[in-house]
Structure 1
Amino acid sequence: MGGSEAGDDSKPKGNRGISFLDFIMRIVAILGTLGSAIAMGTTNETLPSFEQFIRFKAEYKDLPTFTFFVVANGIVSAYLAVSLVLSILHIVMSGARITRVVLIFFDTVMMAFLTSGASAAAAIVYLAHKGNARANWIAICQQYNSFCDRASGSLVGSFIGVLVFLLLIILSALALSRN
């Protein structure tokens, strides 16, 4: 029995390390999701034309899927910023269980939300690059290079956020199992 008591005293110290890693990973996820929202939200390109009054312009707002992507990344970034408070609480109070369960729940919801936005945007970016001959959709990335490059790049930070959420959920479950 004496050995298990000594083991119980060391568990919160191990959870403190997990909590610190949780905090760092949340900051990484904020940077990824906020960067993705900003990159996609500022994506636009205007093509030169021979006519002075006719302009061909591509903006993220032209596609509702990209708008959803920006909104999803923005909401997830805000959630992550708020969740930093609980993450700091877990560093200070490594035995907190209820707040860890709350974080697991909301982290799972936000991961699903972020995954849906990133996946939908990835499908549109794929169509922009490759087109679809059966549906008679042409690939627009040959004309709108900058637009497509920024849209493609913004997906990276969002999918990094999804991966970080997966790791955060696993870390929180590990911390709960150690209590």
Structure 2
Amino acid sequence: MLILGEEVSTLKVVDSSLRLIVIPLSIASLWLTLTNHQENEIYGRLEFSNLKGLKFLVSITAISGGYALIAFVSSWVKRLMNKAWIFFVCDQVVAYLMVACVGSLGEILYLAYNGNQKVTWSEACSSYGKFCGRLNLILVVHFIALICFFVLSLISAFRVFTRFDPPLSSKEVEVETT
């Protein structure tokens, strides 16, 4: 593929496309989370700020979306592309943070649907159905973004580790020492 007189690999196109996909997914996840609230006459108002796990999700989603934008722009700057290890480390960190967010959101959803009888928490989704429905949607959107970052972390790992020679086997070491 030729763009502006420069050959662009398929891997770079996939990388850039995934980073572009993450940006609207992050925006959608942020919007859904920040606007998720529901009133109940008996129990009061429930919104994202009532749950620390959702505050964590908002923070990490904003970081991942911002990083995806910065990484997309900087991946097309030739000098920065030579620093593949920076992308590798950042992609790994963001992917792991997003895994933590999915776990946190999964726990919130589990407790919202099932409660915890040992600590006398009842389920909340019968009273806050709209809120729980949007949490399910947020989980799906965030999970798709996580899959994108998982693939991005594989691509960046491939880019970093193909720059090095494979380690020597024990037979090759013996030959070199003699």
**TM-score of the superposed pair, with normalisation by structure 1:** 0.79
Q: Is 2:85 the partner of 1:97?
A: no
**1:125–1:148 contact (8 Å) kept in structure 2:** yes
Q: Is 2:56 the partner of 1:68?
A: yes
Q: Is 2:39 the partner of 1:46?
A: yes
Structure 1 residue 67: Cα displacement: 0.9
Q: How many residues align?
A: 158
SS of the aligned residue for 2:118 comes to: coil
Deviations, residues 12-44 of structure 1 (Å, cap 9, x unaligned): 95x621011101001112222221121111100
Partner Cα separation in structure 1 for residue 151 and residue 97 of structure 2: 16
**1:16–1:94 contact (8 Å) kept in structure 2:** no
Partner in structure 1 of residue 28 of structure 2: 35
**2:88–2:160 contact (8 Å) kept in structure 1:** no
Partner Cα separation in structure 1 for residue 91 and residue 153 of structure 2: 7
Amino acid at match of 2:29: S
**2:91–2:156 contact (8 Å) kept in structure 1:** no
Change (3 A) 1:96 1:44: closer
Structure 1 residue 62: Cα displacement: 0.6
Partner Cα separation in structure 2 for residue 81 and residue 27 of structure 1: 7
Structure 1 residue 118: Cα displacement: 2.3
Change (3 A) 1:56 1:23: same
Amino acid at match of 1:40: T
Partner in structure 1 of residue 14 of structure 2: 21
Query: Which has more helix, going by share of residues?
Result: 1
Partner Cα separation in structure 2 for residue 166 and residue 97 of structure 1: 21
- Given the alignment, which residue of 116, 127, 135 partners 2:119? 135
Gaps of 5+ in 1: 1-11, 50-54
SS of the aligned residue for 1:167 comes to: helix
SS of the aligned residue for 1:58 comes to: strand
Partner in structure 1 of residue 144 of structure 2: 160
**2:74–2:81 contact (8 Å) kept in structure 1:** no
Deviations, residues 65-95 of structure 1 (Å, cap 9, x unaligned): 1111111111111111111112223xxx599
**TM-score of the superposed pair, with normalisation by structure 2:** 0.79
**2:95–2:153 contact (8 Å) kept in structure 1:** no
Partner Cα separation in structure 2 for residue 175 and residue 16 of structure 1: 12
Partner in structure 2 of residue 52 of structure 1: none
Structure 1 residue 177: Cα displacement: 4.8
Q: Provide the alpha-carbon RMSD of the alignment.
A: 2.2
Gaps of 5+ in 2: 1-5, 164-178
